[in-house]
Amino acid sequence: MPITFVPETQTFYLDTDNTSAIFRVYDQGYILTEYWGKRIHHADLTRLQKVYASGFSPNYPGAVDRSWSLDLIPTEYPVYGGGDYRSPAVQVQFPDGSRLLDFKYHSHRVLEGKPELPGLPHLDGADCTLELTLRDDYSGLEVVLSYSLFEKIDIIARSARICNKTGAPLKVTRALSASIDLPRADFDMIGLYGAHIRERQLDRTPLRHGIQSVESRRGASSHQHNPFAALVSRETTEFSGDAYGAALIYSGNFVISAEVDSFDTTRFQLGINPFDFSWKLEDGEEFVTPEAVMTYTDQGLNRMSQNFHNAFRHHLGHTRIRNKVRPIVINNWEATYFDFDEEKLFGIIDCCKGLGIDTFVLDDGWFGKRYNDVCSLGDWVVNKDKLPHGLDPIIERCEQNGMSFGLWFEPEMVSEDSDLYRAHPEWAIHKEGRPFCTGRCQLVLDLANPEVLEYLKKALSDVLANHRISYVKWDMNRHITDAYSSALPADRQPEIYHRYMLNLYALLDYLNKRFPDVAFEGCSGGGGRFDAGMLYYMPQTWTSDDSDAIERLKIQYGTSFAYPPQCMTAHISASPNHQMGRVTPYDTRARVAMSASFGYELNPLHLTDEEREEIKNQTARYKKIAPLVTEGDFYRLISPFDRNCCAWMFVSPDKRRAVAVYVQKLGVPAWPRNLVYLAGLNPDARYRIEEMDGEFYGDELMHAGIALPWMGDFQSASFTLEQID
Ligand code: GLA
């Protein structure tokens, strides 16, 4: 069993294949964090906990001696009120106004597998789970800390359950999913920041004393920051060095922070953002936090990412789609925008015949009176001016041409100019009588209101149940402002953001169960909600509204820090590209898009015969390499953030097959020798490379490298490896 409790020393040992986490019940029941890092023997690490008394760090009641202060000791789930001035993991307010807490060990149990996280997306298939119950004796409040171990992939999933057993209601004002104190401060913090059409750029900065955080206050995980962060040693590279990674399975307001105290301890925390949050918990009720996914490796950033990839590919979401190759999609957005009718769509669909594309997705504009983005969101009935015979003829036309049909929705939104808003203005998030913001001329529906949830279940089911729809693109094109719900009483208003998320998850759960054969794709103005919470219900996300292959190098490279490539949708779009105006060769656009869930975002009517042939070759090649993209280990080789080029590769789990891609950004005059070093191969095996003559040892390719020919702007190369028996 990878979870061991030693009663004599009151120590818990949590072991995965390559990591250990150690903590123990100390004086009076405080939980002392002793270690998290590379796997070690079950040592007694009490000797490391010698702290020296510090002025102004108060001693807790009955402390062993004057050196023992909660301000100084590393702990698993810190509280406020007892002398620890660093950020707590939990805060509450009791009916008498008191906010004081003192959590101590109460009990624990070890379970096989892992219990469900009610109403929240979560990993499954853990080897075992430790549930550690802490209790505040004064009030009777309990918290159950849950640690689920995934031994083979070095993942620990953590969450907390706050159980009100106090006999009265209370207010939870902060409830993080995990907190860990690490005994060093010489870390760099890595986060993913960005903007619409420039998501998940890499940020790596040294920690300093004080707090550094990434967070969202927008009601969605957002383009701006992603619910992932890592603490890494200064010298950590893609292939070596310490990396502590954390990702939150949540799509709403979050925070991930690293706080370095005066004694060079780093407190690493993540969970629901306490900003503008509180939750009234009645006596007998529980509040369950989202799940945090934590990993450690001493093998650098690639291994850290692979641990996350393995967790999200094999343990997240509906088993039916997990690790299945996704359909090759053609989406009409950049082909037509809002300007289409039945005839035009027929033309596009007919033109796809024989290209090897699996699914045609009809994007925005098919409903209500939608000719532009100022109206009709909420009115999920077919626009009869554009499509006089409804969706069925479009679907039939797709099927006649060998494709299935997919449809775009933006369910969480309402336009002011819509029948839905005219009937139910109170269903939009805003405060009646107070001027409110719009974004893209629309408002956000108040999913904290159960009536809205029921309306959306019905509106979406009506479309899905009555048509042969195999694919849904689920968009979300603005963030929440004017956070006020007409369905909540005054003292529950700060619950709006989290209630919104819970009901959104309930809606997605309902639709996934009712329509198990529909593949859902997430989207939020591109990659504004690229998080593990959404991936639980919708196993891929439109990575960015920027479809330019060169911009996508950074976006996809950054995204891969936490999320597997198969979860990123990447399409070949027209050249010049609509967002950047850049002209990029077809094969470079293909190589970038094929390193993800692949498709097209262009008008096939504009293709030359030569380009049609190229597309046939691309779809055939993708079908060949898709198992590698889906099941293979992904390695980042050269960072587009550091260099004028980018390279990455996929290696099959048995290391017999691999595909590597190199992309040159700008061409360089007087080309120096340019080598790319592969990774993850079997060093002793010999490989054939489709694009090169000869046979090569794995170690030769990894350590001596491949020499690249001269390349001009935006040119690229790929290498398709197969082991020779
Ligand atoms: C968002 C999406 C696009 C497209 C448009 C439609 O911007 O990211 O892919 O669906 O909405 O309005």
Q: What is the pLDDT of residues 463-493, one digit of tens each?
A: 999 999 999 999 999 999 999 999 999 999 9
Whether the per-residue pLDDT at 51 is higher than 80: the answer is no
According to the model, what pLDDT value does residue 653 have? 97
Q: Using alpha carbons only, what angle is made at residue 233 by residues 230 and 236, rounded to the nearest 5 degrees?
A: 90
According to the model, what pLDDT value does residue 67 have? 84
What mean pLDDT do residues 278-296 have?
Answer: 98
Q: What mean pLDDT value characterizes the chain?
A: 97
Number of H helices, E strands in the chain: 12, 38
The percent of the chain in helix, strand and coil, each rounded to the nearest 5, is 20, 35, 45
Specify the residue for token string 């700008």.
666
Identify the band that residue 688 occupies on the pLDDT scale cut at 50, 70 and 90: very high
What mean pLDDT do residues 194-213 have?
Answer: 98
Q: Using alpha carbons only, what angle is made at residue 537 by residues 534 and 542, rounded to the nearest 5 degrees?
A: 55
Residue ID of nearest Cα to ligand 1 atom 1? 525
Which residues have CB under 6 Å of ligand 1? Answer: 333, 363-364, 408, 475, 477, 523, 525-526, 542, 545
CA distance 174 to 255: 11
Whether this prediction's pTM lies above 0.95 is answered by yes
Whether the per-residue pLDDT at 130 is higher than 90: the answer is yes
For 720, list phi and psi in degrees, rounded to 5.
-110, 115
Q: Which of 360, 3, 308 is nearest to 155 (CA)?
A: 308
According to the model, what pLDDT value does residue 221 have? 98
According to the model, what pLDDT value does residue 725 have? 82
According to the model, what pLDDT value does residue 384 have? 96
CA distance 512 to 518: 7
**CB neighbours of 144 closer than 8 A, spacing ≥ 6?**
131, 132, 133, 134, 160, 161, 163
Nearest ligand 1 atom to the CA of 601 is 9
User: How many A from CA of 484 to the centre of ligand 1?
Assistant: 26
**CB neighbours of 75 closer than 8 A, spacing ≥ 6?**
30, 31, 32, 33, 84, 179, 181
Nearest ligand 1 atom to the CA of 363 is 10
Whether the per-residue pLDDT at 65 is higher than 90: the answer is no
Q: Is 545 a catalytic residue?
A: yes
Whether the per-residue pLDDT at 671 is higher than 90: the answer is no
Give the number of other CB atoms < 10 A from CB of residue 191: 24
Residue ID of nearest Cα to ligand 1 atom 7? 525
> pLDDT digit string (tens) for 485-530?
999 999 999 999 999 999 999 999 999 999 999 999 999 999 999 9
Whether the bond between 425 and the residue before it is cis, its omega within 30 degrees of 0, is: no
**DSSP states of 594-635:** TTSEEEEES-GGG--HHHHHHHHHHHHHHHHHHHHHHHSEEE
H/E element, 400: helix 392-400
By the 8 A CB rule, do 589 and 602 touch? Answer: no
Identify the band that residue 53 occupies on the pLDDT scale cut at 50, 70 and 90: confident
Q: Which of 620, 575, 574, 562 is nearest to 594 (CA)?
A: 620
According to the model, what pLDDT value does residue 323 have? 79
According to the model, what pLDDT value does residue 39 have? 98
What mean pLDDT do residues 9-13 have?
Answer: 97
Give the number of other CB atoms < 10 A from CB of residue 97: 6
Query: What is the rounded (10 degree) CA torsion for 446, 449, 453, 455?
Result: -80
User: How many A from CA of 526 to the centre of ligand 1?
Assistant: 7
**Residue in 188, 379, 545, 546 annotated catalytic:** 545
According to the model, what pLDDT value does residue 24 have? 96
Q: Is 385 a catalytic residue?
A: no
- By CB atoms closer than 10 A (0-12, 13-18, 19+), residue 155 is buried
Q: Which of 459, 416, 468 is nearest to 437 (CA)?
A: 416
Ligand 1: residue of 361, 373, 477 to mutate (most ligand atoms within 8 A of CB) is 477
User: How many A from CA of 344 to the centre of ligand 1?
Assistant: 19
Strand residue runs (E) in 383-474: 404-409, 413-415, 442-444, 471-474
Whether the per-residue pLDDT at 66 is higher than 90: the answer is no
Among the listed ranges 69-73, 232-236, 374-378, which one has the minimum average pLDDT value?
69-73
CA distance 400 to 404: 9
Type of residue at 7: P
For 147, list phi and psi in degrees, rounded to 5.
-125, 110
Q: What is the CA radius of gyration of the chain?
A: 27
Whether the per-residue pLDDT at 50 is higher than 80: the answer is no
Q: Which of 191, 205, 170, 4 is nearest to 93 (CA)?
A: 170
Query: What is the rounded (10 degree) CA torsion for 410, 414, 417, 422?
Result: 140
Give percent of the chain above pLDDT 70. Answer: 100
What mean pLDDT do residues 560-570 have?
Answer: 98
> Which two tokens mark 205?
């900065």
Residue ID of nearest Cα to ligand 1 atom 12? 364
Ligand 1: residue of 329, 383, 545 to mutate (most ligand atoms within 8 A of CB) is 545
> pLDDT digit string (tens) for 603-613?
999 999 999 99
According to the model, what pLDDT value does residue 64 have? 83
> Which two tokens mark 637?
């080789």
CA distance 620 to 610: 16
According to the model, what pLDDT value does residue 52 have? 74
User: How many A from CA of 330 to the centre of ligand 1?
Assistant: 14
By the 8 A CB rule, do 199 and 555 touch? Answer: yes
According to the model, what pLDDT value does residue 637 have? 98
What mean pLDDT do residues 287-309 have?
Answer: 98
The HSE-up count of residue 87 (CA atoms within 13 Å, CB side) is 28
